[in-house]
């Protein structure tokens, strides 16, 4: 990515500031050039599944966690789009992988029999779990809510990747 920057400095700004702004833009372009400083592939770290993986999957398990089936009332929360690609350790795109996500609703409740959050209430319009099958470019996409903090936990979304019946990765973002 090359950044474009509009000069927002007043005309009487010393030349030093203008120089530093241009140098920062040039550095950003240098470090984002393909192959200039190629990064080694780092595997996503494994993390525990946590205690609230759904113990009973919802009937609707698509990639839009805001609307259940044909409902018209969306889940409560800030809309968030979670997207990316699945790659193997060599960087090759992985097709036909199932990416699963699950998270707490805006009340901190999971769709798990033991996952009641604040005030023991669940947002009945939040799906809480979704899955997506990657295509030839290894891409996945989810529409969900921005995660909320609950108890001592930082806001997070649980993610699992499966190929066939084998779970390849469980992590959080």
Q: Is 112 a catalytic residue?
A: no
Q: Is 156 a catalytic residue?
A: yes
Residue of 122, 129, 140, 158 marked active site = 158
Q: What is the 3-state secondary structure (H, E, C) of 89-123?
A: CCCCECCCCEEEEECCCCCCCCCCCCCCCHHHCCC
Q: Is 81 a catalytic residue?
A: no
Residue of 110, 112, 122, 129 marked active site = 110
- Go through 114-144 and write b for each residue having 16 or more CB atoms within 10 A of its CB, e for each that does not: ebebeeeebbebbbbbbbbebeeebebebbb
Residue of 122, 129, 140, 150 marked active site = 150
Output the CA angle 73-52-173, nearest 5 degrees: 80
Please report, to the nearest 10 degrees, the dihedral formed by the alpha carbons of residues 3, 145, 86, 47 taken in order: 110
Residue of 17, 141, 153, 167 marked active site = 153
Name the burial class of residue 4, with classes exposed (0-12), middle (13-18) and buried (19+) by CB atoms within 10 angstroms of its CB: exposed
Q: Is 110 a catalytic residue?
A: yes
Catalytic residues: 110, 150, 153, 156, 158
């Amino acid at each position: 990515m090359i950044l474009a920057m509009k000069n927002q400095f007043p005309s009487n700004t010393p030349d030093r500031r203008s120089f530093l702004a241009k140098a920062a833009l040039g550095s950003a372009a240098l470090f984002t050039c393909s192959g200039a400083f190629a990064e080694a592939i780092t595997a996503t770290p494994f993390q525990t599944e946590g205690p609230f993986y759904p113990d009973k999957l919802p009937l609707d398990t698509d990639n839009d966690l805001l609307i259940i089936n044909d409902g018209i009332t969306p889940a409560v929360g800030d809309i968030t789009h979670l997207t990316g690609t699945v790659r193997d350790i060599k960087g090759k795109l992985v097709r036909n992988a199932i990416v699963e996500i699950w998270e707490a609703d805006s009340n901190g409740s999971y769709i798990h029999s033991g996952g009641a959050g604040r005030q023991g209430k669940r947002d009945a319009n939040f799906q809480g779990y979704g899955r997506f099958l990657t295509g030839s470019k290894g891409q996945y996409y989810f529409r969900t809510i921005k995660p909320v903090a609950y108890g001592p936990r930082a806001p997070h979304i649980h993610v699992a990747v499966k190929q066939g019946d084998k779970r390849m990765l469980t992590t959080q973002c």
